[in-house]
Structure 1
């Protein structure tokens, strides 16, 4: 019965995803990037719309599963979703050929993907949209290459502060103590607040504990992430197993990012800069994102909180996120106001 319902739901979602407009695009394929065949999807109803290149989070969590939830975005933007090395279909295509993932390698891959998209779609710049762990790479791309990107939009924005800000770690300990979770509290206290000293396993355990002990985040994980994964019309049951294996493989990237100090790397951006954060995000807290935003200099900048949203804010409230893209970002990128 469960598999029958899944099949019916996937069929309905596949119908919803059909793009039939004369100037639309719906193509997916492997492209040789960084010596590895990497999966790139391009979807949109009108090729004259601005092009968004997504840098997904995780690490190792493909955003392809959210395609049905963000279907309305494709009326106003051409959406490029790229499964990074160690993620999704790129990992599934050749698990043994991913190499040792590093932030530097993902950065170089992203530049190659950007060049491919600019050529394939014949556009001078693309709009850079990064979420969660992908914002670490996203900020570096935006700082260093304003000639390639029309604007930067970060959501679930990570601000790694060189180990100075331990507020989210302390909040987790307080939450566990209040809930009487003595075993989890002891485990998290044992790893200590210095994230740069965490192993990949400890980094993953911390993230898992944050997600499962905050009610709103846990509800989002169940109703948005897991549900999107289970009902994705773009993924078979085998694909879902590989999706999870890719996340485990990519955990080794977590500790690499914890050594970064975003403020030291630079707060000067030579392109429009936007941060849209869930107001109740305990994994990448909005206060840290806002402090960074306040320090940023950019030709245009804006910050917005998404109400009743934790992590995965753009996917829990895709219509609200689209409104922010249309009212704050698209007019800056195109010079024209637009409504939904």
Structure 2
């Protein structure tokens, strides 16, 4: 949902002044040193796997192969999590982190080009997620993995958790996206209020013309809404600048050409959004046959915290917990990776470890 917010900035980063390039190289080198894994039982694999007929980039990293495996489903659509490697390095001391650039995203897009991404649809990408899960289980020799989904990725995540409880040891949603077939317009009304207070007449008029019913929106209107929502909220906009854009620019895993591909991928992937506007997570089911967690920014305006909490309250699961990440809007786990890790260690990892012990006996 936030892809349009990043496109212009990603493009601008691809053409910097010479001084900025030198600073970038220094920061990239520092990031690469931080990300180095040299433990005897560690793993650091990055490469392409043929998934659904497309060469797709998958990274597997961790200090100890015996740690629980986490499979991330990134948001956007088209917004790779690979850029956050240095910020989330501490996670890899306690979990093996699997990151995947979906078709139409980042390194996967760069590998084959836009005309060789195959079908870009929610259904096709959902099947890719299932295939990636099977690949990870086979590659790492584990029966189940922890499913961590953020932002638009959590739209896939809820459906994967419902349909495939045997593949996942727990579900963790952050920046949790809840669909209700357009019934709840409180976030839209709140945005109109912010724009009115700020005197943003042009943006206000555009959103009033678009209307609150997302089922009628085009891909471009989804993008425009996300951009206005993010830039009109001080906390979200601050996070965009201090966390997201800096992670993009200083990523040790991405060349300048790949930064351009990230921007193109976010624009390309927006076409997936309209097909999801009629989704209804309550109608699809609130029963999950696995531990269920939502760790949400306490002030998220893009995937509203209040809606995520209402859905969570209706969830039936063997174990469930909801926790707030303080001083965070969207991108909560990446704004405060230490808070997110603390939640993973105190709430998720003990349950997963108990499952593994029970399975071994």
* Range class of TM-score, shorter chain: over 0.9
Q: How far, CA to CA, are the matches of 1:88 and 1:257 in structure 2?
A: 22
Corresponding residue of 2:210: 191
Q: Does 1:78 align with 2:115?
A: no
Q: Does 1:256 align with 2:275?
A: yes
Corresponding residue of 1:309: 328
User: Which of 61, 65, 71 is the equivalent residue of 2:83?
Assistant: 65
C-alpha displacement of 1:302: 0.3
Q: How far, CA to CA, are the matches of 2:353 and 2:177 in structure 1?
A: 27
Matches within 5 A, 1:1-340: 1-94=19-112, 95-335=114-354
Q: How far, CA to CA, are the matches of 1:96 and 1:18 in structure 2?
A: 34
C-alpha displacement of 1:99: 2.2
Q: How far, CA to CA, are the matches of 1:71 and 1:240 in structure 2?
A: 21
Q: How far, CA to CA, are the matches of 1:147 and 1:266 in structure 2?
A: 17
Runs of 4+ in structure 1 off by over 4 angstroms are none
C-alpha displacement of 1:64: 0.2
- Kept in 1, the 8 Å contact 2:177–2:308? The answer is yes
- Kept in 1, the 8 Å contact 2:110–2:258? The answer is yes
- Kept in 1, the 8 Å contact 2:54–2:118? The answer is no
| Partner deviation per Cα, 1:158-206 (whole Å, 9 max, x = no partner) | 0111111111111110000000000110001110000010000000000
C-alpha displacement of 1:253: 1.1
C-alpha displacement of 1:100: 3.1
Local SS of the residue matching 2:58: strand
Runs of at least 5 residues in structure 2 that lack an aligned partner in the other structure: 1-18, 356-361
Q: How far, CA to CA, are the matches of 1:274 and 1:103 in structure 2?
A: 23
Local SS of the residue matching 1:269: coil
C-alpha displacement of 1:137: 0.4
Greater CA drift, 30-39 or 251-260: 251-260
Local SS of the residue matching 1:40: strand
Local SS of the residue matching 1:46: coil
| Partner deviation per Cα, 1:108-151 (whole Å, 9 max, x = no partner) | 00110011000000000000000000000000000011100000
Local SS of the residue matching 2:245: helix
Q: How far, CA to CA, are the matches of 2:282 and 2:224 in structure 1?
A: 26
Q: How far, CA to CA, are the matches of 2:213 and 2:343 in structure 1?
A: 35
C-alpha displacement of 1:40: 0.2
Q: How far, CA to CA, are the matches of 2:121 and 2:260 in structure 1?
A: 23
Q: How far, CA to CA, are the matches of 2:326 and 2:94 in structure 1?
A: 23
C-alpha displacement of 1:246: 0.2
Q: How far, CA to CA, are the matches of 1:258 and 1:82 in structure 2?
A: 24
Q: How far, CA to CA, are the matches of 2:277 and 2:297 in structure 1?
A: 21
Q: How far, CA to CA, are the matches of 1:171 and 1:256 in structure 2?
A: 24
Q: How far, CA to CA, are the matches of 1:137 and 1:70 in structure 2?
A: 22
Q: CA RMSD in A?
A: 0.8
Local SS of the residue matching 1:3: helix
